[in-house]
Amino acid sequence: MKTSLAVKIGRLDLKNPVTVCSGTFGYGEEFQDFLDLKQLGALVTKTVTLRPRCGNPMPRTCETPSGLLNSIGLENPGLDIFLRDKLGFLKKTGVPVILSVASEGGIEEFISIVGAVDAVKDIAAIELNISCPNIKPHVTPRQARGVRRPQGENQRRLISQDPQATYDLVRAVRKVTKKPLITKLSPNVTCISDIALAAEAAGTDAVSLINTLSGMSIDVLTRKPKIAAGVAGLSGPAIRPVAVKMVWEAARAVKVPVIGMGGIMDTASALEFFIAGASAVAVGTANFIDPGVSVEIINGIKRYLIENNIKDISLLRGSLQL
């Protein structure tokens, strides 16, 4: 039986719905010896900022039960060097390139980055990373009205933790590009649906979720955090139940496609996201354990569709039986 894995994310056509999470796959070149990159549905780059970032101090990672804490801090060479030194290799893969971007300076910097790459034909789509917990947030107390914080706590929040800030950012960026926009959401919120709806109303073509959960691990001998920055982002299979639930909530709330991620380790865990309502999935921490796992998942999804007499991956989407 012939089956179709093709999906559409806004105006972006993908031959299959499996890509990789930003920050877990470098700029593709690092993984070329481990899998055939051309088999991926798309390739999401490591997040790029306008200027180079050296990232957060070491140590930046530590293992936790069924998970990984990281506080890399969006280390990257900056937009100009990415376009000069990294994009050429990505173009040669023949796979749609989704550029993940973040800002150190609020909406204006997002606008500058996105505006600068709008005419770059080798970039197929843009992911707005408004949810990385490992850099300084961008929402001021005035923007997050009514939010009270304990004395001494950081008085700024992530854009993705505030519906109005999310709307304002996506709306502003939408005006400077015709490329498909994917807005990456944070799980560190009260209601993920509210944020997803704000991004949709502002003109995003899709939402991707979830980014990492905020966490901490302590060395009991030194009584210091195992991560130099203290708080870090938790990923891996430990967060998958949270991710599946939030994808289910977001998919029921919005009409735009949802790209699910968070603890996908194999075919079965990827399928959970489609059944919950995702149109596509992204593999993250699993790439560090098995660099070829994304291709294994693509082949596994094909087998599942054939074995269950499902002709099109879209027929699986949102098929959860309650």
| Catalytic-role residue among 21, 54, 62, 132 | 132
Q: List Cβ<8 Å contacts ≥24 apart for 220-229.
A: 226/59, 226/62, 226/69, 227/59, 227/60, 227/61, 227/62, 227/69, 227/70, 227/71, 228/56, 228/57, 228/58, 228/59, 228/60, 228/71, 229/56, 229/57, 229/60, 229/71, 229/73, 229/134
Cα(84)–Cα(123) distance, integer angstroms: 13
Q: Report helix angle 293-307 to 267-276, nearest 10.
A: 60
Active site residue 132: yes
Name the burial class of residue 197, with classes exposed (0-12), middle (13-18) and buried (19+) by CB atoms within 10 angstroms of its CB. Answer: buried
Residue 128 CA to residue 159 CA, distance in Å, equals: 11
Catalytic positions: 132
